[in-house]
């Protein structure tokens, strides 16, 4: 029997759409056991220069303006949804209606309601899905999950997680859809904090069940753009200002089903940290620390004996860690951000080919959205809020 062919459609060719594309193209080298030919069939973007780039530089066979032309193309087997947040809902529902497995960026929608509708539609259509929680695929994070699962840290007591960035720290940065509540949802809560919620639930295999939060918007006006860029760069702006409608900062206390307590903090306007995304997990017999800025390192402390030397061991990611050997031959040679997306792509395609849900599911995306929703509600009234349960296969439900 010959190789299977997987026809790929990518919707929106911004930074993430280009990264999805690179990930698909890397599968033959990184994961040859997929034993499938990945074919870049079609992409969609409203910007003509992006369509030209897709065909002439990336190798897509077709470049169209209407996402329905991608989803309904009989040669497209799987769909990547990389559009702005406010378009995720309608595009994902269209993919469900067409019976096309999809890989969608987070947050899945601009509300928990939209995320629920996506997850429920995908469940009814019996689709394999993936959500862009790329940090969970870092080998050091995968190793953390393994250590916790094996009981090496003892009983888990508390966690600390913060995702502090500076991508929106310049007041002269353009007013884009990211700062519009109707189009982006709750700002940094869905953009960064949702990654923290997913990391915690992933490594602990435990659900965040209660939250208490506060939020702030520190740059309350931004200039209206006159020329669009890609991602966070290439924009040109006018002198006219627009009110920022969502959150720059959030701090949250959490409690899980199993009684673990902790904190989650996120900012998009910090001056100093560039992408300081940190996860710390503490147990009765040890703890681990991971920082995305040094993503190939894991600080590990196991045991409580004090024999004159006690503390953290700095463990460099190596072929002993999950997936590392796909990208580098030995410890000290680093993986990067794009590699995490390649792992995510493999889990998605392996799931599609085997008919199993392997990567982060739309139920995981819905679960993170419910944490986001409870955080917004708590920040509004100053009270603890229970996080609504979701239906479907999640990280913590097995």
Tokens of 74: 């009989």
How far is 207 from 387, CA to CA, in rounded Å? 9
User: What pLDDT score was predicted for residue 239?
Assistant: 86
How far is 130 from 375, CA to CA, in rounded Å? 24
- Superfamily of the domain at 138-386: Dihydrodipicolinate Reductase; domain 2 (3.30.360.10)
Cβ distance 353 to 34 under 8 Å? yes
pLDDT above 80 for 15: yes
Distance, first Cα to last Cα, the chain:
33
- What would the 3-class secondary structure string for 38-52 be? EEEEEEECCCHHHHH
Tokens of 43: 């992409």
Q: 53-88, pLDDT tens digit by residue?
A: 999 999 999 999 999 999 999 999 999 999 999 999
Domain ranges for the chain, please list them: 4-134, 138-386
Cβ distance 199 to 395 under 8 Å? no
Phi, psi of 36 (to 5 degrees): -140, 145
How far is 377 from 199, CA to CA, in rounded Å? 22
Query: Interior CA angle at 369 toward 365 and 373, to 5°?
Result: 175
How far is 357 from 301, CA to CA, in rounded Å? 33
Cβ distance 236 to 182 under 8 Å? no
Q: What share of the chain is helix, strand, coil (3-state, %, to 5)?
A: 35, 25, 35
Q: What is the pTM of this model?
A: 0.95
Q: What is the mean pLDDT of the chain?
A: 95
Cβ distance 371 to 208 under 8 Å? yes
Q: 334-384, pLDDT tens digit by residue?
A: 999 999 999 999 999 999 999 999 999 999 999 999 999 999 999 999 999
pLDDT above 70 for 111: yes
Residue labelled with tokens 């539609």: 121
Q: Which CATH architecture has domain 4-134?
A: 3-Layer(aba) Sandwich (3.40)
How far is 49 from 365, CA to CA, in rounded Å? 31
Q: Is 152 exposed, middle or buried (0-12, 13-18, 19+ CB in 10 A)?
A: middle
How far is 304 from 218, CA to CA, in rounded Å? 43
């Amino acid at each position: 029997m010959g190789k299977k062919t997987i026809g790929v459609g990518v919707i929106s060719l911004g930074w993430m759409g280009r990264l999805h594309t690179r990930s698909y193209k890397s599968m033959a080298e990184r994961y040859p056991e997929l034993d499938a030919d990945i074919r870049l069939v079609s992409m969609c973007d409203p910007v003509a220069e992006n369509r030209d780039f897709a065909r002439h530089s990336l190798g897509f066979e077709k470049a169209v303006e209407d996402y329905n032309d991608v989803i309904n193309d009989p040669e497209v087997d799987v769909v990547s949804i990389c559009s702005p947040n406010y378009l995720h809902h309608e595009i994902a529902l269209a993919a469900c209606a067409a019976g096309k497995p999809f890989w969608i960026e987070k947050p899945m929608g601009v509300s928990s309601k939209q995320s629920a509708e996506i997850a429920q539609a995908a469940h009814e259509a019996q689709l394999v899905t993936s959500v862009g929680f790329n940090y969970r695929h870092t080998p050091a994070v995968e190793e953390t999950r393994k250590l916790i699962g094996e009981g090496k840290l003892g009983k888990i007591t508390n966690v600390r997680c913060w995702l502090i960035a500076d991508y929106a720290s310049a007041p002269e940065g353009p007013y884009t859809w990211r700062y519009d509540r109707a189009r982006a949802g709750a700002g940094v809560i869905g953009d960064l904090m949702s990654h923290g919620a997913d990391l915690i639930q992933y490594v602990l295999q435990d659900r965040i069940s209660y939250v208490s939060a506060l939020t702030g918007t520190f740059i309350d006006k931004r200039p209206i753009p006159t020329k669009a860029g890609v991602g966070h760069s290439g924009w040109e702006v006018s002198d006219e200002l627009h009110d920022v409608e969502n959150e720059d900062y959030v701090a949250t206390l959490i409690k899980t089903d199993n009684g673990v307590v902790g904190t989650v903090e996120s900012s998009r306007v910090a001056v100093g940290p560039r992408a300081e995304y940190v996860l710390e997990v503490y147990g009765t017999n040890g703890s681990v620390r991971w920082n995305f800025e040094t993503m190939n390192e894991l600080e590990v402390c196991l045991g409580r004996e004090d024999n004159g030397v006690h503390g953290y061991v700095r463990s460099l990611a190596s072929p002993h860690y999950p997936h590392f050997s796909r990208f580098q031959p030995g410890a000290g040679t680093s993986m990067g951000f794009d590699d995490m997306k390649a792992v995510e792509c493999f889990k998605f395609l392996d799931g599609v080919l085997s008919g199993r849900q392997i990567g982060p599911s739309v139920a995981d995306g819905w679960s993170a959205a419910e944490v986001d929703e409870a955080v917004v509600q708590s920040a509004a009234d100053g009270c603890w809020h229970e996080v609504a349960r979701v239906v479907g296969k999640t990280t913590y439900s097995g």
